[in-house]
Structure 1
């Protein structure tokens, strides 16, 4: 079991840091992650490890797999020349989701669960710390588009938003454990330090949507914990101009600026703000999303069955020529365009099911660990939900791979807790019974 625990922990680390292990294989689509996944699965099968009960959320995962397959079939019918590239996209999307099933089967006891959970949290901390180091190296005096921290998610500032999406998921996860666990002050101190590092790491990504999402999720957490603490957080968020660094304020105010009516409107240039026709200006990043989403709506109306998995970028130029080859920057819109509206629905269902699993775990018993694990899954689900409104990262393994690992750990925790509660329930006599009979196993 020691070897299996080490492999499970390392795989959760590798998923996030896989960009540092780029090796090309002869077989297209094959990579280290696939080999490690099958290696862990082989050990699990060889040791005869299996679950007595089916994994929760199985139906939601199956629904999403079916819609991904549907998108691939539609793509073949539309343009079969890209079948191999689209097949690799299908494989990549499915494989990271399968981490849920792999870890649910491999983790069968509380000790393994704790080891893997520690690996997930430590990996998140290292990823946040790396962004902090990059931000300090770049300097935080003034905002510079090309000097945004991306952590382990890439060497280019273009991956800064992916790093931010990861942080808005896992900073609240650490905060949930920090707020709810009542035992072990050293663990709570380490979690508090991780939350602080994560917030600073998010700051130096300069992701505006990241700031908003993290604030919203932390408000949810604090409202659940303490109303006074939540009100203090509200006050701090509303007065960000007082305490936030100038670079952060500058980045936030780039989204929308008031047009000077006494000055002629210049011709937009790459990176400049664009006029929306009502006296307001939006930076190009914000404006481009509105234009792409409008084009996507036309695409969906003309192709209600979908245009095919991985075909959005090939088709968006028909509707918005200026953004030919661009991503949707919204995974729900992208799935609706590629695999029909049911594709987007499948994503929403699995996120909702993940949130509800956290809700059930929180109430499985009265322990602080159950409340911590339940809230951790809830905020992770909220992070995934909100981070995909302004970006397409649901199927990015380095961003969400450990979410499915965490979901598997939560599902296994729930099964273990229910199993522990059964003997106690079986020993209790029925109400009004004189002689209680033992319950058969």
Structure 2
């Protein structure tokens, strides 16, 4: 072959897509986001309990920012108040899309995940109160800690397990978690705002309103929208309301539907596509790194930490309360409305999803800091309860869903065998589903 054949060949070229776009595409997958989250938390735990634990503590307490604007925050506070605002902005976009164009648009379809989310909030809160009531010292202020579901972590576990599980299971879990996020945001705004300054909150409406006006006109220029979003965040932070609420409000302001009948995604989907890699790849893992670094004392000390009523209440609330609340609410909706589960689902699948809802990592840690104060002894107990409770929920859900996954994989193999031998596809599936409900 002559050298002329290689005249226009560029070795080690950029390829069809830039490296950044390929990385962003990877970060949009739920499994990768969950792995980054768990890795960051594990690294924080190892560092905090290593001989260099004081370096980790000094890093989390390092202050940076303009004091004149009351923004001389520690790195841990910047992660909780600043970076998590990006996460909650994506949550706001998801909520808006679900209510405008998703399952929550239809009241008949919305009643089940809404009821499941409410049940998954009430039961853990009651169990926590039952344990924490004997602790005293303001322990009851943490009642909302086990009520939240970490959607990134839960969907990551489901993505790893779910090779043959029905798609309806993921839809149920996703919609439940979206409503759960809305409830958690409401709880943070109402119950964990210590002091409210009305003037900055009212002033925040100005940049927020201008942001909403521009995005309604389909303006996408970051150099116009980003300063308005930052000003909204600063003013909400100054008002005393937790600054992550600003992210949700900004997300709600973005329109979901396209103007006219043109092809392509709406602006909310466009922004979600752009910001999800930033949220999953940086905001949530960095927050987890600064929030999960609890010092676990050895010997009798760790036993005392785990035996603390706050720790026990959080663990029982996440592992037992979430599953009990979601299952009970789902069963009640079915009894009252005489609705049936989707044809491809059984109650064992619902149990698996309910156990996954007990993974309350990110928002639970945030509520714990708001309830007891970052760095306090009780906040350390919150971290232990959330870490152990979320891990137990993930493990029990994995056990249940792996059994169900094998069940569906067997049905799929039987169906393929029937189809290849000229049988009636789906006969074994229907018999298997009937057996699975018993």
By the TM > 0.5 criterion, same fold?
no
User: Which protein has greater RCO, CA pairs closer than 8 Å, 6+ apart?
Assistant: 2
Q: Give the TM-score normalised by structure 1.
A: 0.27
Q: Give the TM-score normalised by structure 2.
A: 0.28
